Amino acid sequence: MSKLLVMGAGIEFGWLVARFIPRARRYSTKFTETVVVCEKGMEYLFSDFSSKFEYVKMPGRSERWLYEAKEPKVPSKIKSRHKDAYCFIPNRKTCMAGNRDFLLYKPEIEKGAYWDIIIHARGESKYHSGNRNWPGKHWDDFVKNFPHLNIACIGSLTGSRHIPGTTDMRGIESRGLCNLIANAKVVVGPSSGPMHLASFCGTSHVVWTDSKTQKVIKGTNRKRYEKLWNPLGTPVAVIDKYGWRPPVKVVVETVKKILEEK
């Protein structure tokens, strides 16, 4: 077969950018044509190995493939338009296997794309992660420590907060998101997809998490951020001594140290 149909939706964002896309990138070299099925706005993440797209709108809880072992399926209407294609979908095999090609996402600098700090203030009501996220007051206190810096908020419009005193950049398409991150000094937030994306944009990031061993990766989140999902060696400061609710002071001091080195 000469055509590959990549199902690039229905998977948690961190697994998408750190595991599945690099695997699909490598696998696509075996085919003369690659078509990617994804949500609108996500094209840039696949654009280095495909310029042809089919669009879907996925329901919430995209983590279901991992937590509930349900593989995303290519919609039958799309599949019928590519009857001769081999379908490549996110599952434990494609996301856990080796043989990947990694890419530095660094678009050309656009006017107004430079920021000192990018924050992912994930909302407390987000599925599977409510107890892992800072309350709004913590974020308010964090931002007040950097009164003269350019700070922007990223994330989805429904799953993350816009913190007063920052520029609201939530909900932007993937190219714009990579632009923001790649041209920022540091990205800050709890363990999440955008924090993993920072490592593939070559931008220093400060992330907090717990120190538990994750069965699916056979290691801690620290190991994931520093090594397993950081193949480009991007600088990262992992705060895991305090669990999912580190003191604001600790995060502020860590961020200031990174900014002083820039």
The predicted-structure confidence for 243-261, as pLDDT tens digits, reads as follows: 999 999 999 999 999 999 8
Closest CA to 191 of 226, 165, 164: 226
| pLDDT for position 109 | 65
* All CATH 3.40.50.2000 domain ranges in the chain, comma separated: 115-261
Least confident of 18-22, 37-41, 74-78, 111-115: 111-115
| Rg over CA atoms, the chain | 18
Is 8:37 a contact under the CB 8 Å cutoff? yes
Report, as an integer, the average pLDDT of 109-134.
75
Architecture of domain 115-261: 3-Layer(aba) Sandwich (3.40)
Q: Provide, rounded to the nearest whole percent, the portion of the chain with pLDDT above 90.
A: 76
Q: Do the beta carbons of residue 145 and residue 210 sit within 8 Å?
A: no
Counts of helices then strands in the chain (DSSP H, E): 10, 12
**Residue 222: closest CA among 231, 210, 233:** 210
**Please, what's the largest Cα pairwise distance for the chain?**
57
CA distances from 125 to 161, 196, 236 (A): 11, 21, 26
Q: How many CB atoms lie within 10 A of CB 111?
A: 5
- What pLDDT does residue 5 have? 98
Q: Which of 70, 90, 84 shows the shortest CA–CA distance to 23?
A: 90
Query: CATH fold of 3-96, please?
Result: Rossmann fold (3.40.50)
Lowest mean pLDDT among 3-7, 156-160, 221-225: 156-160
- Which residue in this structure is represented by tokens 């540091």? 186
What does pTM read for this prediction? Answer: 0.92
Whether 128 has a pLDDT exceeding 60, the answer reads no
pLDDT band at 129, cuts 50/70/90? low
